[in-house]
Amino acid sequence: MREEKRSCMTTLCYLEKDGKYLMLHRTAREQDVNKDKWIGVGGHFEEGESPEECLLREVKEETGYTLTSWRFRGIVTFCTETLCEYMCLYTADGFEGTPAACDEGTLEWVPKEKALALNIWEGDKIFFYLLSEEHPFFSLKLVYWYDRLEEAVLDGKPLELFDERRADGSKTGVVMERSVAHRDGRLHGTVHVWLTRKTADGQTEVLLQKRSREKESYPGCWDISCAGHLQTGDEYEEGALRELEEELGITAEKNQLKFVGWNRDLTKENFRGRPYLDDELAKVYVLPMDTEPEQLKLQQEEVEEVRWMPLKLCMEKMQDPRWKHCLRSDEMEMLRTYLETEE
């Protein structure tokens, strides 16, 4: 029989000092959902307590400190297979008193930039970045199956989740949120699909898409015909077919995709004031298709326009710094070699 899910309300607080968080390594109790994890300090509401009363009491009991300055930053709904916990999340930059040992585990001041490398819940990385960016008060829902992140929802909007991958494309078993993957530079899978056709005079053309100016990365740049991230659970061909449908309105079959090769790309940039460290392993395909741009149904939030261009001309234009693009020279060379071999 499946165990009935319990619900509770708690507080969670990260004390701040000199660019560090006070972290608690939870090691004391075996029957603890946070066993061996590093978290903040806090605990369950007692009968009749307000969030602030619970916060002050729990911090005092676990650290010996009395808070003098704190901020209510958000609500975190933390769900596992047996528990649904509503956490009031705080940070505190003012406290006084004498530090005390904690009977829940070991307390340690950890530099904020190193906290992400500890054994923390994968979803905690999402709210750590929200805290560092001074995000307004937020509601974050995190759903786990044991230690695996299954769902993340920020202010009612589902967030994208990726499978972390090894260099050979296999999955590590860890699921991570998109912005975390791009901030930490963790390897994930993507698909690149090139639409190609032959002109009457025998030239090979490729379809280029111009990325929407609202895109997180490389807004307004010319790019691959169709490309996208693999969502958690996706296989490469499945992701390629979905992206074709979503971005270009093309319905295709797996046997129409022609495998070109693998391309791993590491990008270090800064977009919209945020660091962007993208480590992606792309499976590259060709889809021969002679269709006119006006026949395609473009996903407006992703694609501004599409245009056919001779492959040779495209590779020449890539050398012109005035032409805005985010094409990769090694992938273009791989594509050219493949198409010449097919001829």
For residues 219 and 281, what is the distance between their CA atoms, to the nearest angstrom?
A: 21
Position 3 confidence tier, pLDDT thresholds 50, 70, 90: low
Average pLDDT rounded to a whole number, residues 238-256: 96
pLDDT bucket at 28, cuts 50 / 70 / 90: confident
Question: CA 51, 54, 56, 58 torsion: positive or negative?
Answer: negative
Q: Show the tokens assigned to 263.
A: 């391309």
**What are the structure tokens assigned to 336, written together?**
């050219």
Q: What percent of the chain has pLDDT over 90?
A: 87
For residues 119-152, one letter each, b for 16 or more C-beta atoms within 10 angstroms of the residue's C-beta and e for the rest, the string is ebbbbbbbbbbbbeeeeeebebbbbbeeeebbbb
Instruction: Please tell me the pTM assigned to this model.
Output: 0.89
Angstrom distance (rounded) from CA 111 to CA 108:
10
For 263-301, how does the pLDDT look when each residue is reduced to its tens digit (9 = 90+)? 998 888 887 777 888 999 999 999 999 999 999 999 999
Burial of 300 (0-12, 13-18, 19+ CB in 10 A): exposed
pLDDT of residue 271: 77
- Average pLDDT in the 85-92 region? 97
Please say if the pLDDT value at position 311 is more than 70.
yes
For residue 255, the model assigns a pLDDT of 96
Q: What is the pLDDT of residue 4?
A: 66
CA-CA distance, 55 to 213, in Å (whole number)?
A: 44
CA atoms 125, 130, 132, 133: torsion sign: positive
Give the Cα separation of 175 and 163 in Å (integer): 5
Predicted confidence band at 131 (pLDDT cuts at 50, 70, 90)? very high
pLDDT at 2 over 50: no
The CA-based dihedral angle spanning residues 12, 16, 19, 23, taken in that order and rounded to the nearest 10 degrees: -50
Query: pLDDT category, 260, cuts 50, 70, 90?
Result: very high
Complete domains list, the chain, with CATH? 6-159 (3.90.79.10), 188-342 (3.90.79.10)
For tokens 């010319």, what's the residue? 222
Mean pLDDT calculated for residue range 305-321: 96
Distance CA 117, CA 127 (A): 15
Please give the single-letter amino acid code of residue 169: G
